[in-house]
Structure 1
Amino acid sequence: MQILMTGGTGLIGTRLLSRLPEGYQVTVLTRNLAEAELALGRRASWISSFNELPSLDGYDAVINLAGEPIADKRWSNEQKQRICQSRWQITEKLVELCQTSANPPKVFLSGSAIGYYGRQGEELISEYHRSVHDEFSHQLCQRWEQIASQAQSENTRVCLLRTGIVLSRKGGALVKMLPAFRAGLGGRMGDGRQFMSWIHISDMMAAIRFLLETPDCQGPYNLTAPNPVTNQEFSETLATVLGRPCLFPMPGFALKLLFGEMSELLLYGQRVIPTRLEEAGFHFQFQHLKPALENLLQS
């Protein structure tokens, strides 16, 4: 299978490149060839510009994961534009290539996030949920998905990857939390009642391969484990796995002072479940948080 990937140097893309079996040949579109080759060597071929892609003829699949990290900086107006345009512009170009290719890819997997739903309460949120909270994360993901969906045709199926918090020991949210918790200084954020919808990195990889290889799959899929937890439960479980106390909450006002509007990602959540993924026949290796954290942190 010939695959074109964007976002190949990110947390998910890097792991995916190392997990795809023989027979999968990947070309990665990246802005920094030297950095990509240094990090990933010969796991893929590399191109640095759409000028090297006159069409998508010859590619069986597109995996579109590119985008400015959403939680690395405060959300100034300029940063919001970078977050949006880094996703929208690349997706628009890929869709255009799909539409103009004589033999377009059979499948187009495009990144999204559970931020699509906006902040929610305790209600279980599946892909069939229609009530969204109209805020920045929803607007970002809604437009991103809308653009990607234009690649859908009789020749190309589109899957939208509404990804939760990816747990990995090599990057992402968990790695940022570990120093405080290992020092015994961890605790809940705000009141701790907001839900965290998480997924183990291994299940994330397996789900992407499942959607890539299952011809009947198309549309939005929640890439989250079946058992989301509150921030309080997440914090207590992480502390227990590390053998540390969970005594030092971070007040909501402090998070707002530190991160501004971006603190909403930490203080509000969604209780998201992967209904359509399980309906399609996918099985999670890590359904519960404690075994997932033990696998990542004690192995």
Structure 2
Amino acid sequence: MKVVVTGGTGFVGRALVVALVARGDEVVVLSRGHGAVAGARSVRWSPGERGGWESELAGAHAIVGLAGAGLFDERWTEARLREVRASRVDATALLAASIAERAPTTTFVNASAVGAYGMRSDDAILDESSPRGDDALSRLCAEWEAAAEPAAAAGARLCIARLGIVVGRGGGALEAMLPAFRAFVGGPLGDGRQWLSWVHLADTARALMFLIDNEACRGVFNVTAPEPATMNEFSTVLAATLHRPRLFRVPGFALKMVMGEGRADALLTGQRALPTRLLKEGFTFRFPRLEAAMADACGRPAQRG
């Protein structure tokens, strides 16, 4: 079947495209013209602009929206937040409008984030029915999700995938943390009690494919592993996986000085989100536990016992 993917050359998108190609799907990647994936056809698009890419939507069994500028790549200046918003909200709005016009009966799986629940410092367990937060990150997620709704109103089956922190080789948060741990200076951020709703890269791709394939799935789904971890637990497992000590802790004030307050606050807080709806629909995780996920992501054998 034909699947169209935006953001298909990014960390998560590439893993999804590789998996779709491996099972024999016809995959069209809408991209800015870089980082082609073997076996997929690339079509140039510029988020926010109409063009020839829209003709690819007709006849597509599913369309997956994963495009978006990185939230943690730069300080959260007003200009950067506008860029992040445009790459997510505006691009999704245009994609949804095009789906409504050209492929109103398709499946539309669009990314969001567990940041929708807000930057939290409590231990509350969050599922898809939990209330949204009221900070900059959760408001961005709310706009991002709302931008996809016109496709559903036109008849498309819409699934919103609220992604957690994706753990895998070659990108994501883990790639940013590895150098410090390998240099024996890694450790938790802040007090370490904040929750990380992580998910392995392979399970992220598998969950997105599950939403593509299962016609009964509609609405919001947390794409997170069933056992979230605190920052202390996450850094302890990473250190053990790399056979390194966990000696240092990065104080919150230092992180804010280096990264800026908004971006640092997002790392010093978290969400304890569970994949309640995915599990209810019958999805099974290949990496439900952090130890095995981290070992695979770091290219090391999983510890037994």
Q: Structure 2: how far apart are the matches of 1:126 and 1:172?
A: 23
Residue 148 of structure 2 corresponds to: 148
Residue 36 of structure 1 corresponds to: 35
> Contact 1:163 / 1:224 at 8 angstroms: preserved in 2?
yes
> Contact 2:28 / 2:40 at 8 angstroms: preserved in 1?
no
Aligned-pair CA distance for 1:53: 3.4
Alignment of 1:1-299 (within 5 A): 1-20=1-20, 21-31=22-32, 33=33, 35-37=34-36, 40-49=37-46, 50-55=50-55, 56-101=57-102, 103-120=103-120, 121-130=122-131, 132-153=132-153, 155-260=155-260, 261-297=262-298, 298-299=300-301
The one-character-per-residue Cα deviations of 1:39-58 (angstroms, maximum 9, x if unpaired) are x2443232335310355321
More displaced, 185-194 or 16-25? Answer: 16-25
Q: Relative to 1, partners in 2 of residues 1:223 and 1:106: Cα closer, same or farther, differing over 3 Å? A: same
The one-character-per-residue Cα deviations of 1:143-176 (angstroms, maximum 9, x if unpaired) are 0101112211474110001000000111010011
Q: What's the secondary structure of 2:188's corresponding residue?
A: coil
1:203 partner amino acid: D
Q: Structure 1: how far apart are the matches of 2:263 and 2:229?
A: 21
The one-character-per-residue Cα deviations of 1:69-91 (angstroms, maximum 9, x if unpaired) are 11000000000000001111211
The one-character-per-residue Cα deviations of 1:230-275 (angstroms, maximum 9, x if unpaired) are 1011111111111111010000000000111110121000111000
2:190 partner amino acid: G
> Contact 2:161 / 2:223 at 8 angstroms: preserved in 1?
yes
Structure 2 stretches lacking a partner, 5+ long: none
> Contact 2:196 / 2:230 at 8 angstroms: preserved in 1?
yes
> Contact 1:57 / 1:104 at 8 angstroms: preserved in 2?
no
Give the count of matched residue pairs: 293
Q: What's the secondary structure of 1:28's corresponding residue?
A: strand
> Contact 2:100 / 2:156 at 8 angstroms: preserved in 1?
no
More displaced, 279-288 or 40-49? Answer: 40-49
Q: TM-score, normalised by structure 2?
A: 0.92
1:78 partner amino acid: A
> Contact 1:198 / 1:224 at 8 angstroms: preserved in 2?
yes
Q: Structure 1: how far apart are the matches of 2:247 and 2:174?
A: 18
Q: Structure 2: how far apart are the matches of 1:99 and 1:162?
A: 22
Q: What's the secondary structure of 2:148's corresponding residue?
A: helix
Q: Relative to 1, partners in 2 of residues 1:43 and 1:98: Cα closer, same or farther, differing over 3 Å? A: closer
> Contact 2:194 / 2:269 at 8 angstroms: preserved in 1?
yes
Q: Structure 2: how far apart are the matches of 1:249 and 1:22?
A: 43
Q: Structure 2: how far apart are the matches of 1:275 and 1:149?
A: 22
Structure 1 stretches lacking a partner, 5+ long: none
User: What RMSD, in angstroms, separates the aligned Cα atoms of the two structures?
Assistant: 1.4
Q: What's the secondary structure of 1:265's corresponding residue?
A: helix
Aligned-pair CA distance for 1:106: 2.1
**Identity across aligned pairs (percent)?**
40
Aligned-pair CA distance for 1:65: 0.4
> Contact 1:60 / 1:104 at 8 angstroms: preserved in 2?
no
Q: Structure 2: how far apart are the matches of 1:160 and 1:246?
A: 36
1:190 partner amino acid: G
Q: Structure 2: how far apart are the matches of 1:133 and 1:22?
A: 38
Q: Structure 1: how far apart are the matches of 2:53 and 2:188?
A: 47
Q: What's the secondary structure of 1:80's corresponding residue?
A: helix
Q: What's the secondary structure of 1:74's corresponding residue?
A: coil
